[in-house]
Amino acid sequence: MYRKSMDIWVGLFVLLGAVALMFLALKAGNMSTIKSFRQTYTVTAKFDNIGGLKPQGAVKSAGVVIGRVDAIQFDDKSYQALVTLTLDAGYKFPKDSSAKILTAGLLGEQYIGLEPGGDTVNLSNGDRIARTQSAAVLEDLINQFIYSKAAEGKDGGE
């Protein structure tokens, strides 16, 4: 009798551990909100450079997660990245809103920041965000800094 109850407790403990590991994996992978049962709408945006943006990346406004990056494709006609965003239907944004690719911290993950415009008509399913700003690539910024310092040294030496 004692062995049977011990086996049940060990089984429950292992099951609880597996559930806890699954929860942690979903939280660490930022995947806990995938395909929730909330109402959503989809919009698209084109960017010249998406940097390290990935599908399921956050879409934020004022620091609040309002949606997720659904898909990233390459448009071979405009030679830009076409990013599909799935936004929570509870958050309405004007049609002239803008989207930027931002970085959380200096070397953190990239996400899309949505800034509301002033239009009276809101974005709806299938609309496109026209005003976008591409990701700031750290290597490009460092190169610009080095070249500007080299140019200053060259001008100052003559």
Q: Are residues 22 and 73 in the same domain?
A: no
Query: Lowest-confidence range among 23-37, 53-67, 134-148?
Result: 23-37
Q: Are residues 72 and 116 in the same domain?
A: yes
Backbone angle region of 149, left / alpha / beta, with phi > 0 → left and psi within -120 to 50 → alpha: alpha
In this prediction, what percent of the chain has a pLDDT beyond 90?
39
Q: Are residues 17 and 91 in the same domain?
A: no
Q: For residues 129 and 144, what is the distance between their CA atoms, to the nearest angstrom?
A: 29
74 sits in which H/E element? strand 64-75
Contacts of 79 (CB under 8 A, 6+ apart): none
Neighbours of 89 (CB within 10 A): 12
Q: Is pLDDT of 33 > 60?
A: no
Q: Are residues 19 and 64 in the same domain?
A: no
Q: Is residue 154 part of a domain?
A: no
Q: Are residues 64 and 136 in the same domain?
A: yes
Provide the residue range defining the domain that includes 116.
40-144
Total-model pTM: 0.67
Q: Is residue 113 part of a domain?
A: yes
